[in-house]
Amino acid sequence: MTAVAHPIDVPRSGRWTLFGVVAFAVLIFTQVFAFVTSPPDANMGQLEKIMYVHVPAAWIMFVCFVIVMVYSLRFLWKGREEDDLLAAAAAEVGATFNGLTLVLGMLWGKPAWGVWWAWDARLTSTLVLFLVFVGYLALRAFVDDPQRRGQWSAAVGILGAINVPIVWMSVTWWRTLHQTPSSAQTMAPAYLAGLWTNAVAFLLIMIYFIRRRYEAACLIRAAEHAAQATALGGLE
């Protein structure tokens, strides 16, 4: 294990503001596109339109937690503080999309299944995932020492991310209320374009959010490093 000691590389804002503007423009376009091009479903009527936000939010949540796992492992291996900060940024964005997925699922569930919530395998495992990453963020808020915070949260992040394939496969392993995953095999072509374009738009938004959150975390840590260096210089 390497000690966290080297100064933080401060990322520049630069082109990321433009990237964010483009990402939001793409999201607006894809949502209008999905609304206009998708016909009402024979059974569910207009309810299928919830899919264009619910499913991409769920996919992005998975992507975020895989990023958490990759950068947590990298932090434990190399001890680079930037990896810990990137994992934390992805965890916060992932938890946000996870919460959104749960709420949108409830808005789908009430008219489709007649209940807001059921202790179905997919719903329950998604809730567990959410609670794990809320715990991850709470843990980071309570531990002051950067190295200890990084190590503990990396352990929680890796354990939490192990839940991702369980959530993904839950509808296959336990056939309960939630339908099987949305894919080209399970959906009519009329709905696929709207779903995929919205997934890309959500992915762009996710990249933008993680990058800006990471930038803020790096700036704070760089300021803390500079303050420490000044204090140590004053003691000499």
User: Which residues contact other proteins by CB under 8 A?
Assistant: 9-14, 20, 27, 31, 40-47, 49-50, 53-54, 57, 93, 96, 99-100, 103-104, 107-108, 110-111, 205, 209, 212-213, 215-220, 222-223, 226-227, 230
Q: 40: which residues sit within 8 A by CB, 6+ positions away?
A: 46, 48
Q: For other proteins, give the closer residue by CB, 40 or 165.
A: 40
Distance CA 49, CA 52 (A): 6
Instruction: State in angstroms the smallest separation of the CB of 165 from other proteins.
Output: 25
Q: For other proteins, give the closer residue by CB, 66 or 100.
A: 100
Instruction: State in angstroms the smallest separation of the CB of 158 from other proteins.
Output: 24
Distance from the Cα of residue 37 to its chain's centroid? 28
Instruction: State in angstroms the smallest separation of the CB of 214 from other proteins.
Output: 10
Q: For other proteins, give the closer residue by CB, 1 or 227.
A: 227
Instruction: State in angstroms the smallest separation of the CB of 84 from other proteins.
Output: 16
Instruction: State in angstroms the smallest separation of the CB of 43 from other proteins.
Output: 7
The kind and range of the H/E element at 91 are helix 81-113
Nearest one of 211, 216, 195 to 23, comparing CA atoms: 211
Instruction: State in angstroms the smallest separation of the CB of 202 from other proteins.
Output: 9
Distance CA 203, CA 191 (A): 19
Q: List % helix, strand, coil for the chain (3-state, nearest 5).
A: 80, 0, 20
Give the CA distances from residue 166 to residues 60, 124, 158, 183, in Å, rounded to whole numbers and listed in that order: 16, 11, 14, 18
Q: For other proteins, give the closer residue by CB, 162 or 226.
A: 226
Q: Which two three-digit tokens encode residue 204?
A: 């762009």
Are 78 and 2 spatial neighbours (Cβ–Cβ below 8 Å)?
yes
Q: For other proteins, give the closer residue by CB, 100 or 187.
A: 100
Q: For other proteins, give the closer residue by CB, 151 or 204.
A: 204
